[in-house]
């Protein structure tokens, strides 16, 4: 059985990093019996000062379908040691210190196995504009020192490959491996009420996820009834959370039928069950290379209203969601009005279409996983 070393910032039992943790966990659930999957990660979750209880650092521990090596800090010596016993080294994201160490070791000939770097949506125009100068300087340094020369890039789509090559260089070698989905389908637990729309926003609270656009969308929808919004997510950017909170509170003053609540962090394992209690998921994100949270909303029959900066571009034609141009408040508002006007029977039919759609996507992605091309 081929040994695959996956190096990532955080993994289970952590969950605050959202999609990256979910990506790797789903991969282990689908492919953990085909490959000897080994994961190297930090020993604590995002923002925590204490390590996970009950773990031992510096050795592999079995966590579901993978062996996990927890560390208080990444070192070149540990990365080299674990890579020596791997047939493939797969690194999640290009910016972390572990990515720089792995590329440096590969360039120096100290990693013999093929080295793959997962793009993780890092090079989309919207994501790249966040801390753009810092990222440009980093990419320039990596190019000048030829760190990318021995790297093969893992991307989730042809679009992501093009975005990557526009930044890294046209000669970048890419292999497409679509993220694997969560396998379970969750029955929807809510019933659409006349004159009421229950919306949720579930994601990390940072500029990329674009929560600040939500109050403008709801204001523009101007529905003749009640909109209830619940916001879930790790506050990665406290200043941004305050900005969004101010805008949402101000909206209550001008829309008597609007109410909202910040529910705090949402455990990744519970996200589908949370989605199952809402009519729709309002998510005007600046960009997602996959968007696990979108897949999870579909799996729970919670209708996504998303921007056109994700791979989920066919939701409208499939009748199980709305895809709106990024920044087009009127388009998002029209989707919200449409959902508000739905009867319980119409909403129930749309929820069924969500389940049918995501079940077909899951089966297709699992059967044709590009990860087998990477892992060999």
Indicate which CATH number applies to the domain containing 36.
3.40.50.2000
User: Given a cut of 90, is residue 186 above it in pLDDT?
Assistant: no
Same domain, 18 and 54: yes
Pair (85, 40) in one structural domain = yes
pLDDT band at 372 (very low <50, low <70, confident <90, very high): very high
Q: Where are the beta strands (DSSP E) in 11-150?
A: 36-42, 60-63, 66-71, 88-92, 115-118
Q: What is the distance between the alpha carbons of residues 348 and 336, in angstroms, rounded to a whole number? A: 16
Judge if 13 and 96 occupy the same domain: yes
370 lies in some domain? no
Average pLDDT along the chain: 93
Model confidence over 307-331: pLDDT tens digits?
999 999 999 999 999 999 999 999 9
pLDDT at 183: 67
Q: Mean pLDDT, to the nearest integer, of 46-66?
A: 93
- The reported pTM is 0.71
The per-residue pLDDT for 92 is: 95
20, 152: one domain: yes
Nearest-angstrom CA–CA distance, 45 and 8: 12
Indicate whether 317 belongs to any domain.
yes
- The CA-atom distances, in angstroms, between 204 and each of 19, 48, 60 are 10, 16, 29
Residues 231 and 119 in one domain: no
pLDDT for res 213: 98
Residues 156 and 230 in one domain: no
Tell me if 374 is assigned to some domain: no
Q: Is residue 95 included in any domain, yes or no?
A: yes
Taking a C-beta distance cutoff of 8 angstroms, is the pair 339, 187 a contact? no
Q: Answer whether residue 289 shows pLDDT above 90.
A: no
CB atoms within 10 A of CB 27: 24
pLDDT at 36 over 80: yes
pLDDT at 18 over 80: no
Q: Are 33 and 168 within one domain? A: yes
Average pLDDT over residues 360-364: 87
Q: What is the pLDDT of residues 92-140, one digit of tens each?
A: 999 999 999 999 999 999 999 999 999 988 888 877 888 889 999 999 9
Q: How many domains does the chain have?
A: 2
Q: Are residues 36 and 158 in the same domain?
A: yes
For 222-255, the pLDDT digits (tens) are 999 999 999 999 998 999 999 999 999 999 989 9
Q: Decide if 187 is inside a domain.
A: no
Q: How large is the average pLDDT for residues 184-193?
A: 85
What is residue 185's predicted lDDT score, i.e. its pLDDT? 83
Q: What is the pLDDT of residue 106?
A: 97
pLDDT of residue 297: 96
CB count within 10 Å of CB 53 equals 6
Looking at 147, 177, 207, the residue that finishes a domain is 177
DSSP state of 332: H
Beta strands in 179-335, from DSSP E residues, in sequence order: 196-202, 226-232, 258-264, 280-283, 303-307, 322-324
Q: Closest Cα to residue 314, out of 361, 369, 355?
A: 361
What does the pLDDT look like over 68-98, one tens digit per residue? 999 999 999 999 999 999 999 999 999 999 9
Do 125 and 204 sit in the same domain of this protein? Answer: no
At residue 199, does pLDDT exceed 80? yes
- Give the structural domain span for 77: 3-177
Q: Are 305 and 321 in contact (CB under 8 A)?
A: yes
Residue 303 lies in a domain: yes
pLDDT band, residue 28 (cuts 50/70/90): very high
> Is 345 within the bounds of a domain?
yes
Domain end marker among 177, 205, 238: 177
Q: Is the domain of 158 the same as that of 280?
A: no
Which residues, in sequence order, are CB contacts of 48 under 8 Å at separation 6+?
none
Q: Is 98 exposed, middle or buried (0-12, 13-18, 19+ CB in 10 A)?
A: buried
Same domain, 274 and 142: no
Residue 147 resides in a domain: yes
| Same domain (yes/no): 258, 325 | yes
Q: What is the pLDDT of residue 319?
A: 97
| CA angle, residues 117, 120, 15, in degrees to nearest 5 | 110
Task: State residue 30's pLDDT score.
Answer: 87
Task: Give the mean pLDDT of 27-45.
Answer: 94
Q: Is pLDDT above 80 for 349?
A: yes
pLDDT above 90 covers a percentage of the chain that reads 80
* Residue ending a domain, choose from 112, 146, 177: 177
Q: How far is CA 25 from CA 45, 191, 335, 372, in A?
A: 15, 31, 33, 16
> What confidence score (pLDDT) does residue 268 get?
78
């Amino acid at each position: 059985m081929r040994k695959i070393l996956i190096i990532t910032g955080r993994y289970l039992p952590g969950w605050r990093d959202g999609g990256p943790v979910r990506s790797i966990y789903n991969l282990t659930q689908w492919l953990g019996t085909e490959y000897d999957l080994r994961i190297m990660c930090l020993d604590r979750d995002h923002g925590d000062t204490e390590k996970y209880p009950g773990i031992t650092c510096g050795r592999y521990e079995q966590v579901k379908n993978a062996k996990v090596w927890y560390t208080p800090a990444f070192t070149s010596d540990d990365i080299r040691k674990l890579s020596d016993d791997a047939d493939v080294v797969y690194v999640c994201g290009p910016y972390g210190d572990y990515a720089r160490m792995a590329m440096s070791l590969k360039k120096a000939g100290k990693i013999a196995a093929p080295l793959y770097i997962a793009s993780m949506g890092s090079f989309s125009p919207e994501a790249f504009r966040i801390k753009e100068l810092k990222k440009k300087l980093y990419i320039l340094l990596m190019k000048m020192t030829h760190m990318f020369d021995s790297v093969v890039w893992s991307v989730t789509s042809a679009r992501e490959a093009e975005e990557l090559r526009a930044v890294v260089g046209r000669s970048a070698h890419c292999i497409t491996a679509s993220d694997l989905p969560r396998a379970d389908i969750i029955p929807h637990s809510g019933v659409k009420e006349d004159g009421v729309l229950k919306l949720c926003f579930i994601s990390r609270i940072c500029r990329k996820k674009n929560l600040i656009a939500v109050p403008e969308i709801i204001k523009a929808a101007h529905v003749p009834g009640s909109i209830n919004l619940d916001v879930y997510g790790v506050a990665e950017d406290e200043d941004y959370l305050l900005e969004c909170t101010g805008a949402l509170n101000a909206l209550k003053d001008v829309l008597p039928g609007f109410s909202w609540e910040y529910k705090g962090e949402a455990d990744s394992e519970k996200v589908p069950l949370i989605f199952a209690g809402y009519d729709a998921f309002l998510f005007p994100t600046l960009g997602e290379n996959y968007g696990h949270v979108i897949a999870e909303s579909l799996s729970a029959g919670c209708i996504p209203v998303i921007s056109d900066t994700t791979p989920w571009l066919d939701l409208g034609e499939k009748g199980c969601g709305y895809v709106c141009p990024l920044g087009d408040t009127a388009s998002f508002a029209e989707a919200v009005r449409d959902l508000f006007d739905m009867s319980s029977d119409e909403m129930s039919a749309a929820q069924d279409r969500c389940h049918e759609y995501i079940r077909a996507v899951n089966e297709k992605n699992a059967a044709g996983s590009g990860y087998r091309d990477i892992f060999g």
